[in-house]
């Protein structure tokens, strides 16, 4: 790695003779959007190091101060420290997900251990912790606001979770573990990106297009080949194989949990989440799985009848049975038969730009927001578009960047991230956030715009729900701002936003044929709505199976002697998953839990769906665009970040605890 560091530092020095590193200047751009076009790969390493040096000096000043510790001069100062480091990191790590070129990969590989070591230095700083603990031990006497007390609790827990209570040897080992985990997670993600690109090279189908391809492909042998390649990513015995990386990650997570006094990684991770314990999560998932599998078996029965007809007509050999590679294809044929709904006939009404306008107009009706394109905004890629988001009175809410099309350097899936947090300065300035929504939707062609599937439409609404959580934040401190909430609460704003995607009056406003401008016909609209709960057995079972698999891995006390494929097969059998379905993510390409912070947390989507469906039932009762209900959700959930206990926030909005059966009712499973 040293030769890489030498290369970048040398290049940075050469460059500095003729230009100033953009990270060392104030950005004279619209709303402070990073000047992406001015930033070079050589700028990151020196800027990261300068940011680390700056934050260390800030922390040393906190520790060295002779003043009596107060919330402001310890916790407030720590929360505000590291502005330059955050400025650089937000840009670099966002781009590493969306523009992950070989050179960006090398930069990230170099800075990851440096940044990890720096984080260790902060949370193993005994002098700093002594001041934090002084305040924590007498917090009841400090007259703190609810948000300040929450920030103090979070920072105190961060020290505990990073091993401040360990002896010198334990802290040294914790440093090693954290660095190794960061490096291994990075390798896992890079390997998966390479495997995704290999899949595309083999089949001419991007990973983001897999479901559509499996739905429309009539060639059963090709479907099987695509399925096997898709399901074996990271498990091909090549240079991108993730099996040993998975075991190494889990071994380190177990050791880390043990060092901190927990039996398993799951117990450690869940200790400060809404669910609290692995036992609670396991029971929650087992109940859902029971209903999902029952429905999925009925769906197999319906599909098998269609397949039997193909056998009778000579299209398939005798004895053919539904296999995992048949599901999407035959489910679509059942849907056509049951609801006379052909997704190919629907997609022309879902032009990407029109759907985005539907997303925006829904937020406008609910929360009073307005969206205006920023014509001269800097961009990190030509596909990016920028929007000024303002409140009903015209005041700035924040900036939204959208990046919706696939490319070889972008990881699969869809996500929200922020380039700048919302926070309030000591002088009272409310710094507004810069939010990114990223997807992998169909790219426009020479003769056709980007047309979205029903699933894509739902995904855009979902990720924009996360964006609203970040944009509408009204917190004082970085620590609790925006989406910095418990993992099993963070999906509430995203998932509740999906509920408006296919509301009739919402669809009528944005679902227009890309050629004729015709609004989606009532007859077709009725079919879309009628088919809303179609295939929910499969969709729930594959999601629940992945959640259970995640828990199984993180409830281990050892990985010695474990064969990944055998472990996964046993887990699927024990959870009752039928042979025709595999988990949404198999182990070697489960990026959420091995590279994206959802370890022992993938259940969060279902956990939060209980909240979202229960909350949307209130909108149903009051009216889906009822202003009072919408503004209550905005003020009590979307603006609050982690400034209060999440269940306290939820009950304040809903007036009661969530009904655990709300999810099952909404999915038509009970």
Per-residue pLDDT band at 115 (split at 50, 70, 90):
very high
Is the pLDDT at 379 greater than 90, yes or no? yes
Instruction: Render pLDDT for 442-498 as a digit per residue (tens, 0 to 9).
Output: 999 999 999 999 999 999 999 999 999 999 999 999 999 999 999 999 999 999 999
Catalytic entry in 147, 195, 343, 463:
463
Residue 658 DSSP label:
P
Instruction: Render pLDDT for 560-598 as a digit per residue (tens, 0 to 9).
Output: 999 999 999 999 999 999 999 999 999 999 999 999 989
Instruction: Render pLDDT for 49-102 as a digit per residue (tens, 0 to 9).
Output: 999 999 999 999 999 999 999 999 999 999 999 999 999 999 999 999 999 999
Chain region(s) in the chain for CATH 1.10.1370.40: 2-165, 348-532
pLDDT at 3 (0 to 100): 38
Q: 472, 397 in Cβ contact below 8 A? A: yes
pLDDT at 11 (0 to 100): 44
pLDDT at 15 (0 to 100): 45
The order of strands in the sheet holding 415-420 is: 370-373, 385-390, 396-403, 434-438, 415-420
Q: Give the mean pLDDT of 529-546.
A: 96
Residue 101 DSSP label:
-
pLDDT at 76 (0 to 100): 98
pLDDT at 16 (0 to 100): 45
Mean pLDDT of the chain: 95
Locus of tokens 């076009």: 37
Q: Which residues pair with 418 in a beta bridge?
A: 435
pLDDT at 636 (0 to 100): 98
pLDDT at 557 (0 to 100): 98
Is the pLDDT at 168 greater than 50, yes or no? yes
Instruction: Render pLDDT for 170-182 as a digit per residue (tens, 0 to 9).
Output: 999 999 999 999 9
Q: 608, 488 in Cβ contact below 8 A? A: yes
Instruction: Render pLDDT for 600-622 as a digit per residue (tens, 0 to 9).
Output: 999 999 999 999 999 999 999 99
Is the pLDDT at 408 greater than 60, yes or no? yes
Q: 83, 146 in Cβ contact below 8 A? A: no
pLDDT at 10 (0 to 100): 43
Residues for the chain: how many in total?
A: 670
Q: 661, 287 in Cβ contact below 8 A? A: no
Is the pLDDT at 9 greater than 80, yes or no? no
Is the pLDDT at 383 greater than 60, yes or no? yes
CA 552 to chain centre: 21
Locus of tokens 């939010």: 435
Q: Give the mean pLDDT of 204-233.
A: 96
Bridging pattern class, strands 415-420 and 423-424: unpaired
523 is an active site residue: no
Is the pLDDT at 519 greater than 50, yes or no? yes
pLDDT at 12 (0 to 100): 46
Is the pLDDT at 132 greater than 70, yes or no? yes
Quick one: how many helices (H) and strands (E) in the chain? Answer: 27, 7
Closest CA to 581 of 531, 518, 641, 539: 539
Tokens (6 digits) for 660:
């655990």
Is the pLDDT at 421 greater than 50, yes or no? yes
Decide: helix, strand or coil at residue 240.
coil
pLDDT at 343 (0 to 100): 86
Per-residue pLDDT band at 19 (split at 50, 70, 90):
confident
pLDDT at 544 (0 to 100): 98
Closest CA to 641 of 486, 499, 488: 486
d(CA 324, CA 477): 48
List the alpha helices (DSSP H) in 66-167: 77-80, 83-98, 102-123, 126-137, 146-161
Is the pLDDT at 13 greater than 60, yes or no? no
Per-residue pLDDT band at 327 (split at 50, 70, 90):
very high
CATH match for 2-165 among 1.10.1370.40, 3.40.50.300, 2.30.110.10, 1.10.1020.10: 1.10.1370.40
Tell me the pTM. Answer: 0.93
Highest mean pLDDT among 193-202, 339-348, 524-533: 193-202
CATH match for 348-532 among 1.10.1370.40, 3.40.50.720, 3.90.1720.10, 2.60.40.1890: 1.10.1370.40
Per-residue pLDDT band at 531 (split at 50, 70, 90):
very high
Is the pLDDT at 8 greater than 70, yes or no? no
pLDDT at 99 (0 to 100): 96
Q: Which residues pair with 403 in a beta bridge?
A: 438
């Amino acid at each position: 790695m040293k030769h890489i560091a030498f290369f970048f530092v040398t290049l940075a020095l050469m460059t500095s003779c003729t230009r100033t590193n953009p990270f060392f200047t104030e950005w004279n751009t619209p709303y402070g959007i990073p000047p992406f076009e001015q930033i070079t790969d050589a700028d990151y390493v020196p800027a990261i190091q300068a940011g680390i040096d700056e934050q260390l000096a800030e922390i040393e000043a906190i520790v060295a101060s002779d003043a009596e510790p107060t919330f402001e001069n310890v916790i407030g100062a720590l929360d505000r420290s590291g502005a330059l480091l955050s400025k650089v990191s937000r840009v670099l790590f966002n781009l590493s997900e969306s523009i992950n070129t070989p050179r960006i990969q090398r930069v990230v590989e170099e800075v990851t251990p440096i940044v990890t070591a720096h984080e260790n230095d902060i949370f193993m700083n005994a002098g700093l912790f002594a001041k934090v603990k002084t305040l924590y031990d007498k917090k009841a006497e400090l007259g703190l606001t609810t948000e300040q007390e929450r920030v103090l609790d979070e920072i105190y827990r961060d020290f505990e979770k990073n091993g401040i209570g360990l002896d010198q040897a334990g802290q040294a080992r914790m440093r090693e573990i954290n660095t190794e985990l960061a490096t291994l997670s990075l390798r896992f993600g890079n390997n998966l990106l390479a495997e995704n690109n290999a899949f595309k090279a083999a089949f001419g189908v991007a990973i983001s297009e897999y479901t559509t391809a499996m739905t429309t492909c009539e060639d059963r042998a090709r479907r099987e080949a695509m399925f096997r390649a898709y399901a074996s990513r990271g498990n091909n015995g090549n240079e991108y194989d993730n099996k040993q990386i998975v075991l190494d990650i889990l071994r380190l997570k177990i050791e880390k949990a043990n060092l901190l006094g927990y039996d398993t990684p799951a117990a450690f991770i869940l200790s400060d989440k809404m669910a609290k314990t692995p036992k609670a999560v396991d029971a929650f998932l087992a109940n859902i799985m029971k209903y999902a599998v029952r429905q999925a078996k009925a769906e197999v029965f319906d599909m098998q009848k269609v397949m039997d007809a193909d056998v009778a007509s000579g299209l398939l050999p005798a004895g053919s049975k539904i296999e995992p590679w048949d599901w999407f294809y035959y489910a679509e044929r059942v849907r056509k038969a049951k609801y006379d709904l052909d997704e190919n006939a629907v997609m022309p009404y879902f032009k990407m730009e029109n759907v985005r306008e539907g997303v925006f107009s829904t937020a406008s009706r609910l929360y009073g927001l307005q969206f205006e394109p920023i014509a001269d905004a800097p961009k990190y890629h030509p596909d990016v578009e920028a929007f000024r988001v303002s409140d009903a009175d015209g005041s700035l809410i924040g900036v939204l960047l959208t990046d919706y099309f696939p490319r070889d350097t972008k990881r699969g899936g869809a996500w929200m991230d922020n380039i700048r947090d919302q926070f309030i300065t000591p002088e009272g300035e409310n710094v507004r956030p810069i939010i990114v929504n990223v997807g992998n939707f169909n790219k426009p062609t020479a003769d056709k715009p980007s047309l979205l599937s029903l699933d894509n439409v739902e995904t855009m609404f979902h990720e924009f729900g996360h964006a609203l959580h970040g944009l509408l934040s009204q917190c004082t401190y970085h620590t609790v701002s925006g989406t910095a909430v418990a993992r099993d609460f963070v999906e509430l704003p995203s998932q509740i936003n999906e509920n408006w995607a296919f509301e009739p009056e919402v669809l009528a406003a944005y679902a227009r044929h890309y050629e004729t401008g015709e609004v989606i016909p009532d007859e077709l609209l009725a079919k879309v709505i009628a088919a809303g709960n179609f295939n929910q057995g499969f969709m729930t079972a594959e999601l629940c199976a992945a959640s259970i698999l995640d828990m199984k891995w993180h409830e281990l006390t050892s990985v010695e002697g474990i064969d990944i494929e055998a472990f996964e097969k046993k887990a699927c059998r024990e959870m009752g998953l039928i042979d025709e379905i595999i988990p949404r993510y198999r182990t070697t390409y489960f990026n959420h839990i091995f590279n994206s912070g959802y370890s022992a947390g993938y259940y969060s989507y279902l956990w939060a769906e209980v909240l979202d469906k229960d909350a949307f039932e209130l909108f149903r009762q009051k009216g889906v665009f009822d202003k009072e209900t919408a503004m209550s959700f905005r003020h009590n959930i979307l603006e609050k970040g982690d400034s209060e206990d999440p269940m306290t926030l939820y009950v304040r909005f809903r007036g009661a605890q969530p009904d655990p059966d709300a999810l099952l009712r909404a999915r038509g499973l009970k």
